[in-house]
């Protein structure tokens, strides 16, 4: 490069698996999938390679590694080591994943970005979801090739940490390019903290992108790294920094990721989904007709059980949590819920000096998507004033649950608490557990092992997929999803907070905004 630089982003418009941009949508209902196809990548010098493509698209995201503040349920502003958004800014400020299609990611804002969260800085930037800092590369004719201006990255990324970290969502078969830019910690200039991204429980093809620093690469302050993933099996995963994990996880460097199944893209035949899914069974990586393969994650159901969820309540394409083969994991609206806990004493020490007292770590704030009750029941983005005097979107992801009457809500629940087991209970609307740790609950004979319960318990590093079924419920009914552990229903010294949120049954729910009507 003529002018070397530390910050870079990467989001190609074509790859060997995806020669063209293709089509897709944030909801995961992209181009129809009718079976694998063969792609030959001819090489001018050397041997051409043949690939098997199962569809999907190229998706990209950029996040910052730094620090910030979040507001707890008692009004206390707590300091965090944190990841923040550097792409998908408008979507994230509306509680959506920040993952973007390549043609959206590789765009520049209509006006220069300002310090802080640009999605709130005026109508000109509302709707902007491109990568922060992208600039024409004048050494190569002004093309957009990952060259960036570091000033906007620093202006936007410094002290702009989110809790939880920016949400990520991709479809099975997508190629995902994720850039981490380490912007440093304004409140701790004495620390030269490296950061990484580790996809917990996610089957990577290469340890180079696993984020464990002694086996891969860590990102220094002022540097960027682009991680590459080929989306594997559908399910709910999560991600975190793997530098001194007990410290960086406790301080807030945790987020959620989910992979949507190929089944969303399989065209229906007007009857039951079981017949249509025979078109996708030729790929053993995610096919359900693989009883002979002991590594199969979703064995084919023995019969068509007629479970297809045809009466969708949200006026959107019917979506599924897994490649179930029988439609039994269908849902109308989905809600990612990340459980986490903060020890305010540990965070105070982390803001002032080191080392912290790891042996004395004790959570006193208990969080759903970075919020404690009653903030969990508030719609929209929560903002926190930061040390630069600018309001930041500190907790953009609501955790209120709205279900259309007679419909189903998928709860993607993950726990990255480093010191406690956490329990969530639902009274009134029972839970149906369909998946755990990104695996469909099904035996090798294809029988569904789903089970009904009124509570689930997770340890740190676990995820669970739950369906709340509002069949038989009428609109304007309210329930609660909460922890039965009384000491977890508090905001530090304040009672009646912590792990609790509201569940509303509505006439209809907008599948994007989740607004209740």
- Residue 324 burial (CB count, 10 A): 28
How much is the pLDDT for 386?
A: 78
**Look-up of token digits 């006006």:** 111
Contact 163, 84 (CB under 8 A): no
Task: Annotate 426-451 with b (16+ C-beta within 10 A) or e (fewer).
Answer: beebebbbbbbbbbbbbeeebebebe
- The reported pTM is 0.91
How much is the pLDDT for 275?
A: 54
For 214, the token pair is 């002694």
How much is the pLDDT for 4?
A: 43
Residues 6 or more apart whose CB falls under 8 angstroms from that of 63 comprise: 83, 84, 85, 86, 87, 98, 165, 166, 178, 179, 180, 181, 197
How much is the pLDDT for 369?
A: 95
Q: Measured between alpha carbons, how far is 329 from 307 in angstroms, rounded to an integer?
A: 9
Nearest CA to 160 out of 63, 246, 255, 247 is that of 63
How much is the pLDDT for 342?
A: 94
Nearest CA to 205 out of 181, 238, 187, 231 is that of 231
Q: Measured between alpha carbons, how far is 393 from 68 in angstroms, rounded to an integer?
A: 10
Please give the domain boundaries of the chain with CATH numbers for all domains: 51-261 (2.60.40.420), 277-337+380-506 (2.60.40.420)
How much is the pLDDT for 15?
A: 85
- Residue 374 burial (CB count, 10 A): 14
Q: Measured between alpha carbons, how far is 498 from 428 in angstroms, rounded to an integer?
A: 20
Contact 320, 288 (CB under 8 A): no
φ, ψ of residue 92 to 5 degrees: the values are -65, -40
Nearest CA to 181 out of 112, 131, 237 is that of 131
Residues 6 or more apart whose CB falls under 8 angstroms from that of 456 comprise: 413, 423, 424, 431, 433, 464, 466
Q: Measured between alpha carbons, how far is 213 from 307 in angstroms, rounded to an integer?
A: 45
pLDDT per 10-residue tile (average), the chain, 517 residues: 66 84 62 72 65 82 94 93 92 90 89 66 69 86 84 88 94 91 91 90 77 86 91 87 90 93 72 53 52 59 58 67 84 93 92 82 93 92 81 90 92 91 92 93 84 94 94 92 92 87 92 85
């Amino acid at each position: 490069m003529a002018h070397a630089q530390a910050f870079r982003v990467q989001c190609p418009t074509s790859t060997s698996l995806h020669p063209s941009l293709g089509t897709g949508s944030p909801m995961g209902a992209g181009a129809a999938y009718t079976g694998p196809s063969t792609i030959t990548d001819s090489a001018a010098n050397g041997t051409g390679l043949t690939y098997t493509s199962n569809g999907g698209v190229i998706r990209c995201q950029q996040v910052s590694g730094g620090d910030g503040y979040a507001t707890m349920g008692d009004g206390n502003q707590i300091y965090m080591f944190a990841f923040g958004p550097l792409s998908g800014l408008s979507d994230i400020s509306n509680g959506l994943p920040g993952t973007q299609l390549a043609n959206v990611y590789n765009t520049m804002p209509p006006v220069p970005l300002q310090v802080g969260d640009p999605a709130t800085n005026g109508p000109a930037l509302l709707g902007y979801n491109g990568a922060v800092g992208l600039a024409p590369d004048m050494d190569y004719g002004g093309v957009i090739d990952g060259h960036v201006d570091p000033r906007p990255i620093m202006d936007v990324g410094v002290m702009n940490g989110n809790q939880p970290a920016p949400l990520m969502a991709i479809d099975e078969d997508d190629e995902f390019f994720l850039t981490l830019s380490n912007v440093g910690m304004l409140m701790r200039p004495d620390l030269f903290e490296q950061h990484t991204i580790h996809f917990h429980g996610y089957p990577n093809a290469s340890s180079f992108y696993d984020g464990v620093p002694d086996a891969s690469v860590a990102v220094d302050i002022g540097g960027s790294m682009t991680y590459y993933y080929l989306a594997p099996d559908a399910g709910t995963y999560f991600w975190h920094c793997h530098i001194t994990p007990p410290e960086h996880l406790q301080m807030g460097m945790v987020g959620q990721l989910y992979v949507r199944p190929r089944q969303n893209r399989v065209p229906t035949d007007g009857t039951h989904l079981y017949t249509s899914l025979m078109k996708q069974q030729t790929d053993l990586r995610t096919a359900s007709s693989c009883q002979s393969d002991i590594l199969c994650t979703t064995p084919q159901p023995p019969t068509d059980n007629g479970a297809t969820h045809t009466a969708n309540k949200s006026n959107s394409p019917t979506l599924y949590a897994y490649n179930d083969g029988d439609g039994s994991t269908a849902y109308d609206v989905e809600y990612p819920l990340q459980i986490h806990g903060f020890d305010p004493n540990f965070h105070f020490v982390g803001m002032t000096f080191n080392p912290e007292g790891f042996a004395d770590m004790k959570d006193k704030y208990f969080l759903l998507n970075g919020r404690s009750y009653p903030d969990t029941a508030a719609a929209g983005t929560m903002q926190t004033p930061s040390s630069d005097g600018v309001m930041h979107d500190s907790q953009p992801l609501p955790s209120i649950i709205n279900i259309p009457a007679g419909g189903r809500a998928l709860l993607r629940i993950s726990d990255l608490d480093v010191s406690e087991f956490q329990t969530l209970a639902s009274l009134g609307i029972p839970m149906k557990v369909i998946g755990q740790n990104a695996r469909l609950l099904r035996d090798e004979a294809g029988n569904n092992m789903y089970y009904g319960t009124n509570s689930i318990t997770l340890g740190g590093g676990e995820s669970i997929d739950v369906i709340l079924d509002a069949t038989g419920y009428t609109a304007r009914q309210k329930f609660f999803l909460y922890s039965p552990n009384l000491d977890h229903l508090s905001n530090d010294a304040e009672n009646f907070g912590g792990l609790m949120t509201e569940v509303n049954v509505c006439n209809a729910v907008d599948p994007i905004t989740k607004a209740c009507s």
